Amino acid sequence: QILAEPLFRKALSLAIDRTRFASGFTSAGEPGYGILNEMYIYDPYEGLSYRQSEGAKNALVQLYGLEGKHFSDPYAAITGYDPLLARQYLQQSYEQTTASGLYDGESPIVLQLSVFQNEDIYVQMYHFLRDALESACRGTGYEGKVTLEMVVDEDYYAAMESGLTDIIFSTWGGDAYNPYGVLYNCYCDAGVREYPNQMEYGFDAAKV
């Protein structure tokens, strides 16, 4: 249930050093800060990338709280990694969840990461994420109470769709000339694919 709390999710995101993850576990990957990357073209006549548009840049600058900061180029300063802010969000989350009764403040919280196989690369990625999460929790009310558990499940997509796991590694393709496609394919599809809304268990696109 703790993943339903927005501040906890923000903290988990900010606790991950994307640059280290991408360079350590992918052959040619780069860190991503939003859903749409450089591949998506919003103006096919000029070949203009959505990610390079001012609107797209400003959206991420605002998302990571860099507007008004002393950067010559706030967009270029985005790393997606801020362990101090992650720790601050976690403490706020702890205070809010205990006050609301979502969390009793003491019980162990085990988040399940489902992976396809027990290969060394998956184990390494799991340890990287577990260490990032547990490190961010230090000094907060969650310290010593939150951890990540790896579970091998060859049908992990179905488990995610059914709400039987918490976190998976996933990829998606998309039409470079249709930036909206990735949003529908991953989040807003009412059920025409094998795994409708595979990223958002409990979100009914047919009604919302």
**Does 198 score more than 70 pLDDT?**
no
Residue 60 has a pLDDT of: 95
Is pTM beyond 0.75? Reply is yes
Query: What residues are paired with 167 via a beta bridge?
Result: 113
**Does 205 score more than 90 pLDDT?**
no
Residue 203 has a pLDDT of: 63
**Does 99 score more than 70 pLDDT?**
yes
C-alpha to C-alpha distance for 198 and 186, rounded to whole angstroms:
7
Q: Which residue has the higher pLDDT, 171 or 167?
A: 167
Residue 201 has a pLDDT of: 61
- Mean pLDDT over the full length of the chain: 88
Residue 44 has a pLDDT of: 86
pLDDT band at 29 (very low <50, low <70, confident <90, very high): confident
**Mean pLDDT to the nearest integer, 44-72:** 91
CA distances from 115 to 119, 121, 141, 168, 187 (A): 9, 11, 29, 6, 21
pLDDT band at 27 (very low <50, low <70, confident <90, very high): confident
**Mean pLDDT to the nearest integer, 15-42:** 90
Residue 45 has a pLDDT of: 92
C-alpha to C-alpha distance for 195 and 116, rounded to whole angstroms:
16
pLDDT band at 134 (very low <50, low <70, confident <90, very high): very high
Residue 197 has a pLDDT of: 56
Of these ranges, 24-33, 44-53, 141-150, the one predicted with the greatest mean pLDDT is: 141-150
**Does 107 score more than 80 pLDDT?**
yes
